[in-house]
Amino acid sequence: MRVAVLGAGDFAVPVLDAVLASHHPLAGVVSRPDRPHGRHHRKAPSPAAAWATRNQCPLLTPPRVSDPGFEEPFRRLGADVAVVVDFGEILRPFVFEWTACGFFGVHPSLLPRWRGAAPIPWTILSGDRVAGVSVFRLSASVDTGNLAFRGEVTLDDRDTSTTLGKRLGRAGAAALLDVVDRLEGGNLTEVSQPAEGATVARKLERRDGFLRWEFDARRLDAAVRALAPWPCAWFTVGGRDVKVLRSVPLDVSHAAAPGTVLGWGTPPGESEGVRIACGSGELVLLELQSTGRRPLPAPEWLRGARLSPGDVLSSSMTEDGGGPP
Q: Where along the chain do its domains lie?
A: 3-201, 206-305
CATH superfamily of the 206-305 domain: Formyl transferase, C-terminal domain (3.10.25.10)
CATH number 3.40.50.200 given to 3-201: no
Instruction: Determine the pLDDT at residue 320.
Output: 45
Contacts 24+ apart (CB under 8 A), 64-70: 64/89, 65/6, 65/30, 65/89, 65/91, 65/95, 66/91, 66/92, 66/94, 66/95
| Dihedral over alpha carbons 291, 296, 297, 300 (to 10 degrees) | -90
Per-residue pLDDT in tens (0 to 9) along the chain, 325 residues:
999 999 999 999 999 999 999 999 999 999 999 988 776 789 999 999 999 999 999 999 999 999 989 999 999 999 999 999 999 999 999 999 999 999 999 999 999 999 999 999 999 999 999 999 999 999 999 999 999 999 999 999 999 999 999 999 999 999 999 999 999 999 999 999 998 999 999 999 999 999 999 999 999 999 999 999 999 999 999 888 999 999 999 999 999 999 999 999 888 888 899 999 999 999 999 999 998 899 999 999 988 888 899 999 987 775 444 566 6
Give just the sign of the alpha carbon dihedral 189, 192, 197, 203.
positive
315, exposed or middle or buried, with CB in 10 Å at 0-12, 13-18, 19+?
buried
